[in-house]
C-alpha cells in the first residue's frame, strides 16, 4: 500500500513526466482535442455571455500580457484563463469524457495557454501540461462512479480545478511538495452547482472558466508554499467524501444508497494510462446526455419516406440522469424559452433533429428556439426510464427514439454510442471541419488554416506566440 496521499502521488509523478513518457496515440488525440477546444473558444467568444464576462473583467484587469481569444483584449493570466474557459464552454460544443462526466479540455487548456504565453513555454511543454491536467480532471470525475451529478454538482467546476491546477503546476515547473499544496488549495476552490438547469442560467459556462482561473491561482499559491491538506481527496472531510452522492434527493436512494466513491481511480496507472486519450468529440452543440438522442433523430430524419409533418407520436427511452436533468422541470424543458434550457432539453434536441436533420450552434439562437415546427413536435414527445439503459450507466449512454406516423408506420432510431465517442469516433477530418466552421466568423479562414498547421506540429513549436496571435 502506498503511504503517500493521492495528491502527493499525483505531484510526484507529474513533476517527473516528460513528453517522451506519453504514447503516440495520446499525443495525437490530445492535438485533436486541443484543436477542437480552440475552435469552441473562438466561436464562443461571440456569444452574449462571453461579452458579459469580458466587460466584468475590464473593471479591474483590463491590461496584461495574456490574450483573450477572439478579441484584441489583453489581461493577466488568471483573467485570460477565466474568460477563455467561459467562452469555450458557451455553446456546450467542447469535448467531454463519458466516465469522467465532465468537460476536461475547456477547464484545463485556457490555464495552460495563458501561462504558456506568459512564460514563453514550448509546444511540448504546453502539450504535456494539457495532457496531465486533463487526465487529473477526468480521473477525479471517475472517482465518483457517475454519482456526483445526482447530488447537483457540475463536475467541470468541481473536478476541473484540480486538472487546471496540475497543468499550471507543470507549466510553472513546480516540485512535488508545491504540487501537493497547490492541489490542496484547489480542493477549497472546487465549486459548480447545477441550479443553472432550473432556469437556463449562464453559470454552467462560468464553471469552466472558474476552474481554469482558480487552477492558475492554486499553482501560484503552491509555488509560494501555501500549506494545504495533503489528504484533500481522500480525507474524512475531503473532496471525494463531501462531493459524493449521499442519497436523500431525487428519489435515487434505492439505486445509490451509499454515496460510493473510488479513490483508486485517481492514481491507478496514472502517468502510464491516459484517460484523456478517450475524450469524446461533440458533433452537436448541446449536452452530451442528449447528443445520443440527436443521433437517433438524425438517423430517423434520413430514413426513406420520413417526413416530420406526418408525425403522430414520439417516444424516447432514457436513463435516470437524462430523465432528471433533461426532462425536468418539464414545463421549462418541453418549450425552452432560452438557449441554455434548449441545450439541456431532451424534447428540443429530438424535435430539432427530426425537423432539420442537424443540431448545430445555429440551432441554439433566440430565433431558432422559437421555431414553430420544432415546438409542435415537442408536444408529441413522451418518455420513460429504461431499466436496460440504467443498468449500463455511466459506462454507456445508449438511446432509443420511436416515431409513429399518422399512417401507422414506425421509425426507430437507436444508438449504443453517439458519434464522437471513442467507440464511434469522429474522424480527424470531421474535427478539422468543425474547427473551420467555428473559427471562420471570428478570425477568418487564413488564420484558421494556419492554426490547423501549427496544431498538427504542436509539440515541435519553440513557443506558442504565432498560434496565439492567430487566435484574435
| Most distant pair of Cα atoms in the chain: their distance | 72
Confidence class for position 148, pLDDT limits 50, 70, 90: confident
The pLDDT tens digits for 270-279 are 999 999 999 9
Residues 58 and 168 in one domain: yes
Of 242-256, 297-311, 376-390, least confident by mean pLDDT is 242-256
Give me the count of residues in the chain: 472
Residues 182 and 327 in one domain: no
Evaluate whether residue 189 is within a structural domain. Answer: yes
**Are 213 and 82 spatial neighbours (Cβ–Cβ below 8 Å)?**
yes
Alpha carbon 357 to its chain centroid, in Å, reads 24
pLDDT number for residue 257: 43
pLDDT number for residue 254: 39
Residues 265 and 320 in one domain: no
Residues 222 and 298 in one domain: no
Q: Is the pLDDT of residue 153 over 50?
A: yes
Evaluate whether residue 421 is within a structural domain. Answer: no
Residues 245 and 348 in one domain: no
Q: How far apart are CA 134 and CA 131, in angstroms?
A: 5
pLDDT number for residue 240: 92
C-alpha cell read off for 428: 480527424
Of 135-149, 166-180, 435-449, least confident by mean pLDDT is 135-149
Residues 61 and 185 in one domain: yes
Residues 237 and 140 in one domain: yes
Residues 224 and 338 in one domain: no
Evaluate whether residue 246 is within a structural domain. Answer: yes
Q: How many domains does the chain contain in total?
A: 2
Residue-averaged pLDDT of the chain: 94
pLDDT number for residue 244: 85
CATH number of domain containing 121? 1.10.4100.10
pLDDT number for residue 255: 43
The C-alpha angle 196, 198, 201, rounded to 5 degrees, equals 35
Confidence class for position 253, pLDDT limits 50, 70, 90: very low
Residues 106 and 206 in one domain: yes
Residues 267 and 305 in one domain: no
Supply the pTM of this predicted model: 0.95
Evaluate whether residue 430 is within a structural domain. Answer: no
pLDDT number for residue 205: 96
SS3 sequence of the chain: CCCCCHHHHHHHHHHHCCHHHCCHHHHHHHHHHHHHHHHHHHHHCCCHHHHHHHHHHHCCCCCCCEECCCCCCEECHHHHHHHHHHHHCCCCCCCEECCCCECCHHHHHHHHHHHHHHHCCCHHHHHHHHHHHHHHHHHHHHCCCCCHHHHCECHHHHCHHHHHHHHHHHHHCCCHHHHHHHHHHHHHHCCCEHHHHHCCCCHHHHHHHHHHHHHHHHHHHHHCCCCCCCCCCCCCCCHHHHHCCCCCCCCCCCCCCCCCCCHHHHCCCCCCCCHHHHCECCCCCCCHHHHHHHHHHHHHHCCCCCCHHHEEEEEEEECHHHHHHHCCCHHHHHCCCCHHHHHCCHHHHHHHHHHHCCCCHHHCCCCHHHCHHHHHHHCCEEEEECHHHHHHCCCCCCEEEEEEECCCCEEEEEECCCECECCCCCCHHHHHHHHHHHHHHHHCHHHHHHHHHHHHCHHHCCCCHHHHHCCC
Q: Is the pLDDT of residue 90 over 60?
A: yes
pLDDT number for residue 101: 87
Average pLDDT on 189-212 reads 94
Residues 185 and 236 in one domain: yes
Evaluate whether residue 422 is within a structural domain. Answer: no
Closest C-alpha to 336, from 308, 374, 309: 374
The pLDDT tens digits for 29-85 are 999 999 999 999 999 999 999 999 999 999 999 899 999 999 999 999 999 999 999
Evaluate whether residue 382 is within a structural domain. Answer: yes
CATH number of domain containing 401? 3.30.1330.120
Evaluate whether residue 423 is within a structural domain. Answer: no
Evaluate whether residue 428 is within a structural domain. Answer: no
**Are 166 and 14 spatial neighbours (Cβ–Cβ below 8 Å)?**
yes
The pLDDT tens digits for 324-367 are 889 999 999 999 999 999 999 999 999 999 999 999 999 999 99
Residues 81 and 225 in one domain: yes
Q: Which domain holds residue 69?
A: 6-282+436-469
C-alpha cell read off for 37: 477546444
pLDDT number for residue 1: 52
Amino acid at each position: 500500500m502506498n503511504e503517500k496521499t493521492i495528491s502527493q502521488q499525483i505531484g510526484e509523478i507529474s513533476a517527473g513526466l516528460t513528453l517522451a513518457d506519453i504514447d503516440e496515440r495520446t499525443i495525437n488525440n490530445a492535438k485533436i482535442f486541443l484543436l477542437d477546444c480552440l475552435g469552441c473558444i473562438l466561436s464562443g467568444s461571440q456569444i452574449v455571455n462571453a461579452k458579459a464576462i469580458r466587460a466584468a473583467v475590464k473593471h479591474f484587469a483590463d491590461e496584461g500580457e495574456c490574450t483573450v481569444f477572439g478579441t484584441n483584449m489583453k489581461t493577466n493570466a488568471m483573467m485570460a484563463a477565466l474568460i477563455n474557459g467561459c467562452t469555450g464552454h458557451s455553446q456546450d460544443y467542447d469535448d467531454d469524457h463519458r466516465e469522467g462526466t465532465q468537460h476536461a479540455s475547456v477547464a484545463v487548456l485556457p490555464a495552460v495557454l495563458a501561462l504558456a504565453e506568459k512564460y514563453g513555454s514550448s509546444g511540448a511543454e504546453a502539450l504535456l501540461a494539457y495532457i496531465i491536467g486533463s487526465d487529473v480532471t477526468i480521473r477525479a470525475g471517475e472517482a465518483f462512479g457517475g454519482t456526483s451529478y445526482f447530488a447537483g454538482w457540475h463536475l467541470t467546476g468541481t473536478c476541473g480545478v484540480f486538472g487546471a491546477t496540475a497543468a499550471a503546476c507543470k507549466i510553472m515547473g513546480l516540485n512535488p511538495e508545491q504540487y501537493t499544496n497547490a492541489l490542496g488549495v484547489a480542493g477549497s476552490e472546487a465549486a459548480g452547482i447545477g441550479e443553472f438547469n432550473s432556469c437556463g442560467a449562464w453559470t454552467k459556462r462560468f464553471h469552466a472558466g472558474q476552474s481554469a482561473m482558480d487552477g492558475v491561482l492554486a499553482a501560484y499559491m503552491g509555488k509560494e508554499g501555501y500549506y494545504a491538506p495533503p489528504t484533500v481527496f481522500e480525507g474524512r472531510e475531503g473532496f471525494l467524501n463531501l462531493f459524493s452522492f449521499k442519497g436523500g434527493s431525487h428519489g435515487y436512494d434505492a439505486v445509490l444508497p451509499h454515496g460510493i466513491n473510488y479513490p483508486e481511480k485517481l492514481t491507478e496507472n496514472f502517468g502510464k494510462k491516459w484517460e484523456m486519450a478517450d475524450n469524446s468529440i461533440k458533433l452537436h452543440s448541446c449536452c452530451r446526455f442528449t447528443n445520443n438522442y440527436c443521433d437517433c433523430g438524425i438517423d430517423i430524419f434520413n430514413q426513406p419516406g420520413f417526413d416530420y409533418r406526418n408525425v403522430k407520436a414520439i417516444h424516447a427511452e432514457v436513463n435516470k440522469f437524462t430523465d432528471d436533468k433533461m426532462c425536468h422541470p418539464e414545463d421549462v424543458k418541453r418549450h425552452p424559452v432560452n438557449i441554455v434550457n434548449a441545450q439541456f432539453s431532451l424534447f428540443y434536441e429530438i424535435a430539432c433533429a427530426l425537423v432539420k436533420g442537424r443540431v448545430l450552434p445555429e440551432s441554439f439562437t433566440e430565433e431558432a428556439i422559437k421555431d414553430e415546427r420544432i415546438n409542435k413536435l415537442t408536444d408529441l414527445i413522451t418518455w420513460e426510464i429504461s431499466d436496460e439503459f440504467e443498468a449500463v450507466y455511466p459506462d454507456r449512454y445508449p438511446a432509443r427514439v420511436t416515431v409513429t406516423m399518422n399512417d401507422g408506420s414506425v421509425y426507430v432510431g437507436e444508438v449504443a454510442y453517439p458519434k464522437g465517442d471513442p467507440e464511434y469516433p469522429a474522424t480527424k477530418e470531421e474535427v478539422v471541419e468543425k474547427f473551420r466552421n467555428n473559427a471562420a466568423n471570428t478570425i477568418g479562414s487564413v488564420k484558421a488554416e494556419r492554426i490547423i498547421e501549427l496544431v498538427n506540429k504542436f509539440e515541435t513549436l519553440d513557443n506558442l506566440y504565432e498560434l496565439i496571435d492567430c487566435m484574435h
